[in-house]
Structure 1
Amino acid sequence: MSLDVHPQLLRALRAVLETGSLTAASERLGFTQSALSKQIAALEAAAGTRLFRRGPRGVEPTPAATRLAARAVTILDQLDAAARDLAEVSAPLDGRVALGGFPATAMRLAPRAIARVRLTNPAIEVDFLESSTPVQIRRLRAGRLDLAILGVGADLPDWDLTGVELETLPGGPLLVAVSVRHPLALAGRHRVPVSALAAENWIAGRGARGEPQFGPWPGLAEPRVVATLADWSTRLGFVAAGLGITTVPRLAAQSLPAEVTCLEVDDPHGTGRTMALARIGALPAPAAVVRAALFDEARRIAGYTPPGP
């Protein structure tokens, strides 16, 4: 025997059992008593047995009704759970995510990732806080950031990352930014040995004590620094004017002024500098969406090849 009935008939059965009368059950479900009686009759026809008998205190369930109701509770609970699951899937994610990044990440990585999130999940709001890596670590520990893009590497300070979970972001090697009129650029070279940088004038970044900055190529013995400037736009303006060169991360390569180009560097010792995405504890769903967007955009940046001069 196969019992194929509409879930509403099972709800009618449960309501009558729980209230003990057709009148009370019809009021609970919002049907007329006549309509509810027809639902019970249809269920009895499908079951092939009587489910209720009229008694002095209302309707009395038969053993068949009691056994069917026990199954109905499980069935209806599962249907309700399925409806909730579908609602969660179809409902747009919403929430606010606090994302931190060092200044160079604001050139392309962070804004492009935020734009990607806004396109696919417009109900998620991303607050971007630009600050140095040590400040971000403090904000992360204080609960002011959900995610933080940190600079890490052998040539950087040994940050205290106890309790912080790190994931390496694709980033690619460091580059050197030079004026398009610089001899290295005019020579048509796309890649230069690190020895070619030793005698150059360097534009360095300036920040608070202990905050790492881009500037001379890491590992140069005694680089000649001719200017120390706080903002990227100012530094790159000096580079464009031919007053010096500076080190830039690959994530900035597609955001340089038209008068500036970048070169890859052959350095047998390497720089060991990378980006990492930091968090503390499990990520809520909106933060996980931001994380995925950051990795997607970081992969695009890491695969970018600077154009030849």
Structure 2
Amino acid sequence: MGEFTVTGLRVVREAARSGSFTRAAERLGYTNRIDVAVLSGDPDRPGDTTFEPLLDDSLFLAVHPAHRLATRASVAVAELRAEPWITGSNDIGSTLLGAWSGPSWHPRIAHTARDWIAKLGLVSAGLGVTIVPGLAVSALPARLSIIRIDDPQAHRPTHLAYRSGTIPPDHPFLEALRDTAATLAADIRARLRT
């Protein structure tokens, strides 16, 4: 988002790996102090919080440019079953691959890496493929091939959440978040066209 200055507003950027808005706030020490959050997935919804869809974040496949799928615009999930995967955890349910885990498919995890630089380095070395959120596509190295995944589960909802009564819905910061989400969606479309 770049810089954003508003009197009385302090911006703290944190990534919380919890599936719960409330637990993440507690873990970060912000219980009853978070007025605005951008959340991915399906978070819990405290009663004093307003949630609105911000972006339906599509999931994409990142592959090495010499990979057999590198020139494709899209790929079906069934074509990915034999791929060596690079994930953030051996627990498939906690990764972006979780949407496809089940009795009919157990992805073969070749490497685990907690941070994106390591994951993308492994992909760049041709050691496997990984799922990337659409929000990250415009920032990915141009040398990687990014492929749309043809599956209705290949997305994660991203919400704007704000405490009711603490910040008005038309606050300039909320408007900036909405505008940034729209710009990111356009950047994703542009990257996939090239």
Using the TM superposition, give the Cα deviation of residue 192 of structure 1 relative to its aligned residue in structure 2, in angstroms. Answer: 1.5
Unaligned runs of 5+ in 1: 1-111, 154-158
Q: Pick from 90, 110, 122 the counterpart of residue 226 of structure 1.
A: 110
Which residue in 1 is equivalent to 2:139?
255
Using the TM superposition, give the Cα deviation of residue 273 of structure 1 relative to its aligned residue in structure 2, in angstroms. Answer: 2.1
Tell me the TM-score normalised to structure 2 length.
Answer: 0.79
Which residue in 2 is equivalent to 1:130?
15
Which residue in 2 is equivalent to 1:181?
66
1:301 aligns with 2:167: no
Higher Cα Rg, which structure: 1
Using the TM superposition, give the Cα deviation of residue 308 of structure 1 relative to its aligned residue in structure 2, in angstroms. Answer: 5.4
Is the contact between residue 56 and residue 156 of structure 2 (CA under 8 Å) also seen in structure 1? no
Summarize deviations over 1:89-115 as a string: whole Å, max 9, x none. Answer: xxxxxxxxxxxxxxxxxxxxxxx2xx2
Using the TM superposition, give the Cα deviation of residue 137 of structure 1 relative to its aligned residue in structure 2, in angstroms. Answer: 2.8
Alignment: residue pair count: 184
Which residue in 2 is equivalent to 1:26?
none
Aligned 1:104-123 pairs, distance under 5 A: 112=1, 115=2, 117-118=4-5
Matches of 1:261 and 1:287 in 2, distance apart? Answer: 38
Matches of 2:143 and 2:133 in 1, distance apart? Answer: 18
Unaligned runs of 5+ in 2: none
Is the contact between residue 63 and residue 130 of structure 2 (CA under 8 Å) also seen in structure 1? yes
Closer, same or farther: CA 191–150 of 1 in aligned 2, 3 Å: same
Matches of 2:78 and 2:92 in 1, distance apart? Answer: 28
Which residue in 1 is equivalent to 2:79?
196
The alignment partner of 2:12 has SS state of: strand
Is the contact between residue 175 and residue 262 of structure 1 (CA under 8 Å) also seen in structure 2? yes
Is the contact between residue 83 and residue 108 of structure 2 (CA under 8 Å) also seen in structure 1? yes
Matches of 1:213 and 1:196 in 2, distance apart? Answer: 19
Letter in 1 for 2:184: I
Moved over 6 A (4+): none
Is the contact between residue 205 and residue 228 of structure 1 (CA under 8 Å) also seen in structure 2? yes
Letter in 2 for 1:147: V
1:212 aligns with 2:99: no
Letter in 2 for 1:256: L
Is the contact between residue 171 and residue 299 of structure 1 (CA under 8 Å) also seen in structure 2? no
Using the TM superposition, give the Cα deviation of residue 161 of structure 1 relative to its aligned residue in structure 2, in angstroms. Answer: 2.0
RMSD: 3.0
Is the contact between residue 133 and residue 150 of structure 1 (CA under 8 Å) also seen in structure 2? no
More RCO (CA 8 Å, sep 6+): 2
Summarize deviations over 1:228-254 as a string: whole Å, max 9, x none. Answer: 211111111111111111111110001
Letter in 2 for 1:144: R
